Amino acid sequence: MKYKIIPEDVIKSLVEFLDDVQSEAAETKNSPKELERINFCSWAISQLINSTRAYKAEDEERPATKDEKWDIIDEYFLDFQLPEDMTKKEINKMMNQFEGFFKGWDKKYKETKHTNTGKKKQTLKQFRNNLLKDDELTPQEKFELYYDEYRKNKNKPSICLSCGHDFDEEYYHINPPITKDDKYDVKLTKEYCEEQSLKYNHKNCKPLWCDDCQLLTGYLVDY
């Protein structure tokens, strides 16, 4: 079956037009022709209102607006029917289960939003800074996510197996190492290379980063 995608504002205009036609026909509904027109308008309005919702592919990646969230919820639960013999106690139990599910899902969503899974590895400091910038999280949620990440990092090896950096060394607790994951650090290394190239007439200068921990390991200079 082939489909045509119609913008929502066009659907709204069509529904309003069909509703006007239906109202006009209802005034002389004794005529078989007018009854046929009323039935057609009623059917067409129903088809337009209950049509399958479609979105542009790029729209799926952007945050949904408040109205869009409620539209999606209404679309899924509009025809949901509770058993007629359900008691108030059973309904409350069901709603508590729904609430528990959504709270668990919400917590998991916020965790995956900030974890290192599928992303470049972050240091604990970067993870904390990203949490502080997130306006959607409550202070309690920020603390819980940070504490979970802290415990995960605590169980990791303290020495990078690629570059040998010791994360437990006291010096680095006071003076955090330069990392590729920090935009400000990357800017500093770029400025340093420009300064050295200008000062010593280097042909080229670029920072070297550890592939595993993303820390600065040195500079590659072309004399």
How far is residue 8's CA from residue 5's CA, in Å, rounded to a whole number? 9
In this predicted structure, what is the pLDDT of residue 75? 67
In this predicted structure, what is the pLDDT of residue 207? 92
| Per-residue pLDDT tens digits for 134-173 | 777 788 777 877 777 777 766 666 788 888 888 777 777 7
In Å, what is the CA distance from 144 to each residue of 76, 110, 125? 32, 11, 15
Relative orientation angle of helices 88-114 and 124-133, to the nearest 10 degrees? 130
In this predicted structure, what is the pLDDT of residue 213? 83
Q: Is the pLDDT of residue 113 over 70?
A: no
Tell me which of 19-33, 97-111, 167-181 is least confident.
97-111
| Best mean pLDDT range from 23-37, 63-77, 192-206 | 192-206
The residue ranges of every structural domain in the chain are 1-52, 176-222
Q: In this structure, are residues 146 and 131 in contact, taking their beta carbons and an 8 Å threshold?
A: yes
Distance of CA 29 to the CA centre of its chain: 52
pTM attached to this predicted model: 0.34
Residue ranges of alpha helices (H) inside 116-218 are 124-133, 139-154, 170-174, 183-200
Token pair recorded at residue 189: 């290394």
Residues forming a β-bridge with 215: 179
Long-range contacts from 151-160, C-beta under 8 angstroms, 24+ separation: 153/124, 160/210, 160/212, 160/213, 160/215
How far is residue 5's CA from residue 54's CA, in Å, rounded to a whole number? 8
**pLDDT confidence band for 114 (50 / 70 / 90):** low
Distance in Å from the first CA to the final CA of the chain: 67
Q: In this structure, are residues 212 and 163 in contact, taking their beta carbons and an 8 Å threshold?
A: yes
Q: Is the pLDDT of residue 69 over 90?
A: no
Q: Is the pLDDT of residue 203 over 80?
A: yes
In this predicted structure, what is the pLDDT of residue 155? 61
* Average confidence score pLDDT of the chain: 78
Mean pLDDT of 92-118: 69
The proportion of the chain whose per-residue pLDDT surpasses 70, expressed as a percent, equals: 79
In this predicted structure, what is the pLDDT of residue 118? 45
Largest CA distance in the chain: 98
In Å, what is the CA distance from 159 to each residue of 101, 152, 155, 176? 39, 15, 12, 15
| Per-residue pLDDT tens digits for 53-65 | 776 665 556 667 7
